[in-house]
Chains A and B, each alone.
Chain A
Amino acid sequence: MFITPLLFTILVALISGIYSKSVELTFELPDSAVECFYQEIDQNTSATLEYQVITGGQYDVDVKIEGPNKQILYQQQKMQYDSHKFIAQQTGVYKACFSNEFSTFSHKLVYMEFNVGPEQPLPGIGEHATVLTQLETSAEEIHSALNKIIDQQTHHRLREAQGRKRAEDLNERVFWWSMGETLAIMCVALAQVMVLKNFFSDRPSLYNMK
């Protein structure tokens, strides 16, 4: 009674090892730092790395994917966003590195998605032998369409976040800059008058008296 679900889940766990591993992470990348992520990929499995810089500096980052033998599969410098799909030539640990080494003071926020292998099928659906009914095929189609919508939404969400963060930055900057400039104008005006008065006064200034 208690054992059956347990066995079932263990079985599923074993099966799920073959299928998709998809991780979405948004992390902070401090200035002149390198952040690496590792993922074990089986031979002939396709993998996709998608990334985008959400905020910080010029919104760019250096990205590198290395295979198990240190061969470089993908390398880009100062990219804002991209996606790269590759098929693992051999089983092993693949490494994806994000580097902010070129930047000495801007700290960045980077989103990345590492997708490995095909999507994990629903339990029971993968293994049945009969032809799918029309309803099932439609359901399948709707599912993949919804997946596309979710992907698109994520993409849109990130672009929006980028725009929003930039607008917030701009708002802040406008505020401080205007404050600063108003102050500067007043100081300059006062200083101008002082200096001019000093030029024309016959008696020595306080500074020259001693």
Chain B
Amino acid sequence: MILFNFASLVSFLLVLDVTTALYFHIAEGERKCFIEEIPDDTTVIVNYKVELYDPRSGGFMPSSPGIGMHVEVRDPNDRIVLSRVYSSEGMISFTSATPGEHVICMYSNSTSWFSGSQLRVHLDIQVGEHAVDYANVAQKDKLTELQLRIRQLLDQVHQITKEQSYQRHREERFRQTSESTNQRVLWWSLLQTGVLIGIGYWQMRHLKSFFEAKKLV
């Protein structure tokens, strides 16, 4: 991970042109969250660009300097990894410390004059090996084509290995849940039988003594 220094991060801004990426609409101030389930030590890069709806032209303004985006990233333990206000266009990158579901939330820092207006958000999320900028790696380390390809293969294999060990971890959790359910069902059925027998016995005895006291039997 040390390989990708600041310079390579900066070049991402240029390499990944966000305007051709997928986009969606949100209302101003609306919160939009995405979930990334990733192994630990995995880099996630989020590129986004926000455009504000322009009522005069009926289109979207290519740049809206007044608009900022609040970006919040939470790790699986619900701790905040990152929470900041960014400009209308930007790139966020973080590396996961714990494996699990990371939640990335975005919302605009709404200003009263714009409220109720529509925003168009271009978004691109790249995870793990996809987040590596090979053009930059080749440049920096002076790699030949083949060396670069091998580097990519290595990255992919690393990614697969990490995913697999995470998979084992999750499988373990799954199995624990299933075993717990199994245990609960077993113990509860035993307990319920006990409760039923106990209550039936108590009812009989109680009623019997009651009827005897009343001289009904």
What residues make up the interface of A, taking CB atoms closer than 8 Å to B?
5-6, 8-10, 12-13, 16-17, 21-28, 35-40, 109, 114, 122-125, 128, 135-136, 139-140, 142-143, 146-147, 149-150, 153, 156-157, 160-161, 163-164, 167-168, 170-171, 174-175, 178, 181-182, 185-186, 189, 192-193, 196-197, 200-202
Contacts and interface: CB of A to CB of B under 8 A. Distances in A.
Nearest to B156: A146
Interface of B: 7, 11, 14-17, 20-25, 32-37, 123-125, 127, 129-130, 134-136, 138-139, 145-146, 148-150, 152-153, 156-157, 159-160, 163-164, 167, 170-171, 173-174, 177-178, 180-181, 184-185, 188, 191-192, 195-196, 199, 202-203, 206-207, 210-211, 214, 216
Contact of B181 (A37, A109, A171): A171
B21 A21 contact: yes
The B interface, classified by DSSP as helix, strand, loop or mixed, is helix
A123 B135 contact: yes
B21 A197 contact: no
A29 to B, nearest CB: 11
A123 B7 CA distance: 18
Contact of A8 (B123, B139, B181): B139
B195 A185 contact: yes
A136 B145 contact: yes
A120 B21 CA distance: 14
A5 B160 contact: no
A150 B161 CA distance: 10
A192 to B, nearest CB: 7
22 contacts: A9-B15, A10-B14, A26-B36, A37-B24, A38-B24, A39-B21, A39-B23, A124-B148, A156-B167, A157-B37, A163-B174, A167-B177, A168-B177, A170-B181, A171-B184, A174-B181, A175-B184, A178-B192, A186-B195, A189-B203, A193-B203, A197-B207
Question: Which 4 pairs, one residue from A and one from B, show the smallest C-beta to C-beta distance?
Answer: A178-B188, A123-B135, A26-B35, A189-B199
Given A12-B135, A13-B17, A149 B146 contact: no
A160 B160 contact: no
Contacts of B163: 150, 153, 157
A144 B174 CA distance: 31
Contact of B174 (A10, A123, A167, A185): A167
Contacts of B20: 17, 21, 40
B152 A122 contact: yes
Given A9-B135, A23-B123, A150 B160 contact: yes
Nearest to A96: B22
Contacts of B171: 160
A38 B23 contact: yes
From B123, B138, B145, B160, residue with most partner A Cβ within 10 Å: B145
A43 B33 CA distance: 31
A201 B213 CA distance: 11
A13 B195 contact: no
From B11, B177, B199, residue with most partner A Cβ within 10 Å: B177
